[in-house]
Chains A and B, each alone.
Chain A
Amino acid sequence: MNLSVDLIFKIAAIGILVSVLNQVLIRSGREEQAMMTTIAGIVVVLFIVIQLISDLFTTVKTMFQLY
């Protein structure tokens, strides 16, 4: 198992992108679309996080024989 930093970079990039888009959309007076962008970004990041969490849980389960 190697330590991969690119996941952190990916999430930080999504976060920066979403916050920039959010500000641009709010400045141009589209609050609803800004909200939608935020939610979409959160869902995308949540998928990555959930995948990694399930990976961790299966690893711990098999290692410590927790069934």
Chain B
Amino acid sequence: MEIFKIAAIGIIATIFSVMLKNQKPEFSLHISIITGLLIFLFILSKLASVLEVFNTLAQKTNIDTVYIITILKIIGIAYIAEFGAQVCRDAGENAIASKIELGGKVLIMVLGIPILIALLDLIIKLIP
């Protein structure tokens, strides 16, 4: 099972991180970053098949591909922003972490505006 692998890697990395923390805190940060990246990459390879199903489902139900691509982009931005913010928060830099989250939110808003405009157009069309 994959979850045992992930949990084992997390525990091993935690032991190393705690071991190095009072000697060299920067290496402990590196270990936590690498662990996060490894688990993240592992999860992403699993997520690929889910996305495939999602895409075929959207094609079957004749949803406009622009919306699907926008949703996928938003999910990607959210993943990356979350990851960067967590790394910064791990190192004790709360201010930088919240700036990364702010950047992610603004970019998501920018991507979401065309959908909002489409919705507003639809509403205006419905109102006679």
Contact = CB atoms under 8 A, between A and B. Distances in A.
Interface in A18-67: 18-19, 22, 38, 41-42, 45-46, 48-49, 52-53, 55-57, 59-61, 63-66
A35 B65 CA distance: 55
B67 interface: no
Contacts of A49: 30, 33-34, 37
Contact of A41 (B27, B31, B75, B83): B27
A45 B16 CA distance: 15
Interface in B43-87: 44-45, 47-48, 51, 69, 72-73, 75-77, 79-80, 83
B38 to A, nearest CB: 6
Interface string B23-39: 11011101101110111
Given A11-B31, A53-B37, A42 B26 contact: yes
Given A5-B9, A8-B9, A49-B34, A56 B40 contact: yes
B23 A19 contact: yes
Interface residues of B, number: 39
Contacts, number: 108
Contacts of A45: 27, 30
B20 to A, nearest CB: 5
Contact of B44 (A38, A63, A65): A63
A12 B26 CA distance: 11
Interface string B1-32: 01001100100110010011001101110110
A66 B34 contact: no
Given A12-B16, A57-B80, A66-B76, 10 more contacts: A1-B44, A3-B2, A7-B34, A15-B30, A18-B24, A53-B33, A55-B37, A60-B80, A63-B51, A64-B72
